[in-house]
Amino acid sequence: MIFKSPYPSLPTPNRPFSEFVLDKLWKFSDKVALIDPDSDTQVLNRDIYVQSLSVASFLESRHFHHGDVACAVLHNCLEFVPIFIGVAHRGGALSLASSAYTEYELTYQLKDAAAKIVFTHQSNLKKVIKAAESCPKIRCIVVVQDNAKGDSEKQAFGVVPFEEVLSYQPNVLRHKVDIDIKRDVILLPYSSGTTGAPKGVMLSHSNLTLGVGLLEEFFVRHTMQKIDPSYRPENETEVMFMPMYHIFGFDTVMVNICAGVTTVLMKQFNLEQCCALVEKHKAKFLKVAPPILVMLSKNPIVEKYDLSHVQAIFCGAAPAGKELCDDVMKRLTTLKTITQGFGMTELAGASHVTEYSNASKHGSCGKTGFNLETKVIDPNGQQLGFHEKGELCLRGPVVMLGYLNRPQATAETIDDDGWLHTGDIGYMDNDGDLFVVDRLKELIKVSGYQVPPAEIEDLLLTHPKIQDAAIIGVPDEKYGELPMAFVVRNNEDLSEDEVNEFVKQRVARYKQLKGGVQFIREIPKLPSGKILRRFLKDEAQLLMRAKKKSNL
């Protein structure tokens, strides 16, 4: 059974996303677009418009052509948006990388994406230069100041300050590129898909236009204007702290730009600062991940601030349970709703979002979004009906073009009929609402961030004292899940601390082995070599129960 969207179709895009956003910036030209809460710097929409065209001029001077890739190794900052629009306006793609990535992780992504230009902060410059030295296609590094000390190595690599980029003459017509909105890649975030190492997700101009449009419809017209018909986004300010290298954070800022909402862009999440900013700006809508909901429900800091203007919260990146949502609703007494959804990087964001009128159906991700179709299949590929659990598949114009230079992985994810196989287990109820109940895929989600077991396993196997290794996710109240390692030693001298330190030096914080390290004689596997993670999960449960019992 195929479940079609009950909503009217959004218009088919007929121009590049960059042109669409530039028009929105011009429409709201005198309005504040972004605010840096640390410096109180405000940027108008017209400032971003001009800066975007200056970035495009600079890129042209550096022979950055249609189809080329730039990489943003940035934390949330005011420069992020004009960098993205400038790259897109030149017909290029922006690859998103976390500023928390290690040199090891950056080298992998820069090489894989074949990036030619990197945008980063002064505080990350040394790490980026070292990674870039292994990537011969990189032509220059543009550095955004963030009050870090200077780096003596920067001249050796021809680093360009962002201020110099902005000195280039903005000319909207000069840089016009013939863009195929359905085939040309505009955004190249990295995701692990259903399995394996991180892969570049190729999102087209059309993908992104419809992905952002879908969220704008849900957030504005199906949430806030259902709560208050007089709600006008161009009169509102939101506080945003989700990282922009993540599709959730990126889409949130793009939705706000297109809808005319002012965004207070936090560098990173801090509960005290967030609550103070929500109070100061009288923010009505918050977009969060489950760990932040936990803080809102329990942390005493929340009581210090007036959050009475908050009318709606959207929780994305990972599921939030009924009890947690109820606790937040009880604490924030003026809150009208907590909505949730389902999405993937491979879908340019979300495919399902609950409406205000239906948010009380706890556990639901909502109905199939605009322009999309949903089906649920059994292991043989047969379609299932209402309340029958199987793998969730989606089809529509937000489905990615594929994984960069990985035709086999693409074919394993998108079938010949255009259905994207999510690797998630769920069902549709009689109202057409989606419920996601489990994951086929092996990804571990730490605060909504993806941790692919294969990536950490491959890293551990490079350690001379490790014979074999397997990674699983173990439940954690604060973070959702944490990575735990089962390790087979080939040297009895190897300690848990040594394993932790080895991983800590090479991966971002959320990928570290905070779930623990357990030494075992053998990793359980099928004859094919596939790791039997369910046995390891059972073992982890026994260990956790024993630990809990010993603490009583």
Tens-of-pLDDT digits for all 552 residues of the chain? 999 999 999 999 999 999 999 999 999 999 999 999 999 999 999 999 999 999 999 999 999 999 999 999 999 999 999 999 999 999 999 999 999 899 999 999 999 999 999 999 999 999 999 999 999 899 999 999 866 554 555 555 679 999 999 999 987 656 578 999 999 999 999 986 555 678 999 999 999 999 999 999 999 999 999 999 999 999 999 999 999 999 999 999 999 999 999 999 999 999 999 999 999 999 999 999 877 888 898 889 999 999 999 999 998 876 677 778 888 999 999 999 999 999 999 999 999 999 887 656 777 899 999 999 999 999 899 999 999 999 999 999 999 999 999 999 999 999 999 999 998 888 999 999 999 877 767 789 898 887 888 889 889 988 989 988 999 999 998 899 999 999 999 878 999 999 999 999 999 999 999 999 999 999 988 655 668 888 999 999 998 888 777 765
**Inter-helix orientation angle 247-259/80-89, to 10°:** 80
In a domain, 402, yes or no: yes
Instruction: Answer for the pair 103, 119: CB distance below 8 angstroms, yes or no.
Output: no
Question: What are the C-alpha distances in Å from 445 to residues 102, 134, 227, 462, 482?
Answer: 19, 30, 31, 24, 8
CB atoms within 10 A of CB 530: 8
Residues 545 and 400 reside in one and the same domain: no
Tell me which of 408, 439, 470 is where a domain ends: 439
Choosing from 423, 439, 455, the residue where a domain stops is: 439
What is the Cα–Cα distance from 311 to 315, expressed in whole angstroms? 13
Tokens of 238: 């939101």
The C-alpha atoms of residue 414 and residue 427 are separated, in whole angstroms, by 20
In a domain, 187, yes or no: no
Query: How many CB atoms within 10 Å of residue 300?
Result: 6
The full 3-state SS of 6-39, as one line of letters, equals CCCCCCCCCCCHHHHHHHHHHHCCCCEEEEECCC
Residue 154: domain span: 41-178
- Which of 387, 411, 439 is a domain's end point? 439
The amino acid at residue 278 is: V
Same domain? For 432 and 448 the reply is no
The total number of structural domains in the chain stands at 3
User: Do residues 359 and 395 both lie within one domain?
Assistant: yes
Domain assignment present for residue 482? The answer is yes
Residues 279, 361: one domain? yes
SS3 content of the chain, % helix, strand, coil (to 5): 35, 25, 40
Sheet with 433-439, side-by-side order of all strands: 2-4, 373-377, 390-395, 420-428, 433-439, 364-368, 349-353, 337-344, 312-315, 285-288
Same domain, yes or no: 231 and 287: yes
So what's the pLDDT on residue 326?
Answer: 87
Read off the pTM. 0.85
Q: Are residues 470 and 414 in the same domain?
A: no
Cα gap 103→128, rounded to integer Å: 7
Residue 69 belongs to a domain: yes
Q: Identify whether residues 358 and 480 lie together within a single domain.
A: no
Beta-ladder partners of 338: 313
DSSP-assigned letters across all residues of 157-175: GT-EEHHHHHTSPP-TTTT
Helices 205-216 and 17-27 cross at an angle (nearest 10°) of: 40
On whether both 431 and 537 belong to a single domain, the answer is no
Examine residue 16 and state whether it is found in any structural domain, yes or no: no
* Dist CA 28 CA 46 (whole Å): 8
The number of C-alpha atoms within 13 Å of 311 and in the hemisphere containing its C-beta is: 17
Say whether both 234 and 369 belong to one domain: yes
Q: Which amino acid is at 384?
A: L
d(CA 499, CA 518): 10
Domain containing 511 — which CATH number? 3.30.300.30
Question: Is residue 151 domain-resident?
Answer: yes
The reported pLDDT for the residue numbered 149 is 53
Please check whether residue 196 lies inside any domain of the structure: no
Domain match, 70 and 155 both: yes
**Which domain CATH number covers 309?**
3.40.50.12780
| Complete DSSP assignment for 482-529 | EEEEEEEESSTT--HHHHHHHHHTTS-GGGS-TT-EEE-S---B-TT-
**What 3-state class would DSSP assign to 66?**
coil
Measured between alpha carbons, how far is residue 312 from residues 15, 284, 351 in Å? Answer: 33, 7, 19
For residue 299, what are its two tokens? 């942390």
Is there a domain that residue 258 lies in? yes
**402 shares its domain with 462:** no
CB neighbours (10 Å) of residue 9? Answer: 12
Enter the tokens of residue 130: 């070292």
